[in-house]
């Protein structure tokens, strides 16, 4: 059974969970993975939190995000390859949306590589729209530069 929980940064086992998230990051972001230390340093900031998806007691997905005032940003989102294509990222985004609405956020943004069609399709399915394109943003040795898309989801405010 899948569960999604906000990481309690003060929890005695938090470092173990963060290590599992960093391990997933290293697998799925091979050319640009954020290390365990980077995630620890980010989570030291009050505005940055981590949602973790568990299968039984094993971390299988995560969403690192920042919420500042009325705007939030997904910094990283990922699912272990053994658990991809099972709707985990959709559930993560839904859970994040629920939390952000409770915080009265007005919008959520993210950045995605323009060549990552599955991720773009997922974000569009969740209601995100492309608001900007950064030409040649991702540069990888001996390969053509790839654009970055900035996508945004606006939350409807009740009148």
Can you tell me which residue has the tokens 């839904």?
A: 94
Q: Of 154, 113, 157, which Cα lies nearest the Cα of 136?
A: 113
Q: Is 123 a catalytic residue?
A: yes
Query: Could you say which of 54, 83, 106, 111 is catalytic?
Result: 111
Q: Is 94 in contact with 53 (CB distance < 8 Å)?
A: no
Q: Of 48, 55, 58, 57, which Cα lies nearest the Cα of 23?
A: 58
Query: Could you say which of 123, 129, 137, 138 is catalytic?
Result: 123
Q: Is 109 in contact with 151 (CB distance < 8 Å)?
A: yes
Tokens of 69: 């005032």
Q: Is 25 in contact with 34 (CB distance < 8 Å)?
A: yes
Q: What is the spatial distance between Cα 140 and Cα 126, in angstroms, rounded to a whole number? A: 29
Q: What is the spatial distance between Cα 107 and Cα 16, in angstroms, rounded to a whole number? A: 31
Q: Give the residue numbers marked as catalytic.
A: 111, 123
């Amino acid at each position: 059974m899948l569960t999604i929980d906000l990481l309690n940064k003060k929890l005695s086992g938090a470092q173990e969970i963060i290590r599992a998230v960093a391990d997933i990051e290293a697998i799925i972001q091979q050319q640009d993975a954020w290390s365990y230390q980077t995630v620890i340093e980010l989570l030291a900031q009050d505005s940055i939190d981590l949602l973790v998806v568990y299968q039984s007691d094993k971390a299988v997905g995560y969403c690192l995000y920042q919420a500042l005032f009325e705007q939030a940003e997904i910094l990283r989102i990922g699912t272990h390859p053994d658990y991809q294509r099972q709707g985990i990222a959709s559930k993560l985004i839904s859970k994040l949306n629920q939390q952000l609405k409770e915080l009265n956020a007005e919008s959520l943004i993210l950045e995605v590589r323009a060549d990552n069609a599955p991720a773009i399709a997922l974000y569009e399915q969740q209601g995100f729209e492309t608001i900007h394109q950064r030409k040649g943003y991702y540069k990888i040795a001996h390969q053509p530069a790839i654009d970055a898309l900035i996508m945004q989801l606006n939350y409807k405010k009740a009148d």
